[in-house]
Amino acid sequence: MAINRRTLLVSSGLLGSGLAAPAVWGQPRNPTWPRALTMGTAAPGGTYAIYGPAWGQLVQAATGVNISYRTTQGPNQNIVLLQTRQIELGMVTMGVALQAWEGTGEWTQGNRFRDIRALFPMYDTPFHAVALARSGISDHSQLNGRSVGVGPRGGTPGTYYPLILRTLGVTPSAIRFASASDLTGQLADGLLDCFCFAAGAPIPSFSEIETSQQVRIFGFTDAQAETITKAMPELSKGTIPAGTYRSVPGPMTIVGMFNFAVCHRSLPEDLVYEIVKAVMTQNAAMVQAVAAARETVPENVGKNSFLPFHPGAARWFRENGHRIPDNLVAA
């Protein structure tokens, strides 16, 4: 199936306004399935806002179940909304999901969120930054005393980037929380010194600003990456390939965290099986919509080592030759 790019743009635009994408009510292939599901995505300017409607279209076409989209602050809020059944589908980074599962991290307030289930692997989320070239900033060590944006407070970069900077001994003059599109605008207007973010590369807002401004997009030194991953083992060292951004000619060292699609544990097993099948068997369509989906392949299912898979998801992976340990499956 080809993904309708016009629908993606409409959906992401409505997400930015806080509205759900328009529903075209169909009939589920199985009359016992719900007629509609809501997916939590994230704020405009990040990858989730495009990636979510991309796989939602595939699922809707395969199942007949209408998928609508709710703009959120990102993985933290998606988990809270799933736990309270205000949404049925969502996307998370595995570090935030681990905090939710164990009840660690300030945002959990000690609560364990145990009703979320893994669906399928999405892509790696690389942490990296952008600054205007005229600022002279080209390294995280230069952010002492500077104003830094880190995305929405409830998103992965909003949770982790302040910790990363603290781990590196960097103390900005201010840390600002807002959507990627808002912070990119502040950077372009000279109201922000650096925008530190994490999303599937290329980050849409980073690509946008480098077409209109002279910018420096940068990751971490090898020593910085080693310091960060030692302090936070849920992060891993990686590389953004050369050519991902037109202003970055060579590969970029980053630290990253994998993303997974998730659902509420109450969804029917046969429906979840079809959801996973729809996405895992149509990678070319996903990549056409968002480049980060190159990593949305069954071989990355092992990137999850703790969050239980929904039984319907586990069945699809097992039937297609991918090992899912019994202790990673829960109804």
Q: What CATH number has the domain bearing residue 197? A: 3.40.190.10
- 157 with 72, same domain? no
Structure tokens given for 85: 């059944």
* Closest among 54, 51, 109 to 80, alpha carbons compared: 109
Round to whole Å and give the CA distance between 72 and 158: 13
- 97 with 31, same domain? yes
* Closest among 244, 277, 241, 279 to 259, alpha carbons compared: 279
- 144 with 253, same domain? yes
Round to whole Å and give the CA distance between 152 and 176: 9
Residues whose CB falls within 8 Å of the CB of residue 94, separated by 6 or more in sequence, listed in order? 234, 257, 258, 259, 260, 303, 304, 306, 307
- 213 with 313, same domain? no
pLDDT score of 3: 74
* Closest among 42, 54, 71, 75 to 9, alpha carbons compared: 54
Round to whole Å and give the CA distance between 91 and 73: 11
Round to whole Å and give the CA distance between 285 and 282: 6
pLDDT score of 275: 98
Phi first, then psi: give them for residue 240, nearest 5 degrees: -90, 125
Question: What range defines the domain where residue 92 resides?
Answer: 5-124+258-328
What is Dmax (Cα atoms) for the chain?
A: 60
Last residue of one domain, picked from the residues 212, 236, 257: 257
Round to whole Å and give the CA distance between 259 and 200: 9
Structure tokens given for 300: 């990355």
- 94 with 138, same domain? no
- 133 with 251, same domain? yes
- 154 with 106, same domain? no
Last residue of one domain, picked from the residues 257, 281, 304: 257
Last residue of one domain, picked from the residues 228, 257, 286: 257
- 183 with 40, same domain? no
Count of residues for the chain? Answer: 331
pLDDT score of 26: 72
- 36 with 141, same domain? no
pLDDT along the chain (331 residues), means of 10: 59 42 69 97 90 97 97 95 98 94 94 98 96 98 98 92 98 97 96 96 94 97 96 90 94 96 98 98 96 95 94 98 97 95
pTM over 0.85: no
pLDDT score of 19: 35
Round to whole Å and give the CA distance between 257 and 304: 11
- 104 with 18, same domain? yes
* Closest among 208, 176, 210, 170 to 191, alpha carbons compared: 176
CB 245 within 8 A of CB 209: no
Give the total number of structural domains in the chain: 2
Residues whose CB falls within 8 Å of the CB of residue 287, separated by 6 or more in sequence, listed in order? 293, 294, 296
- 210 with 139, same domain? yes
Residues whose CB falls within 8 Å of the CB of residue 126, separated by 6 or more in sequence, listed in order? 198, 201, 219, 238, 240, 252, 254, 255, 256
* Closest among 300, 247, 260, 321 to 95, alpha carbons compared: 260
- 56 with 25, same domain? yes
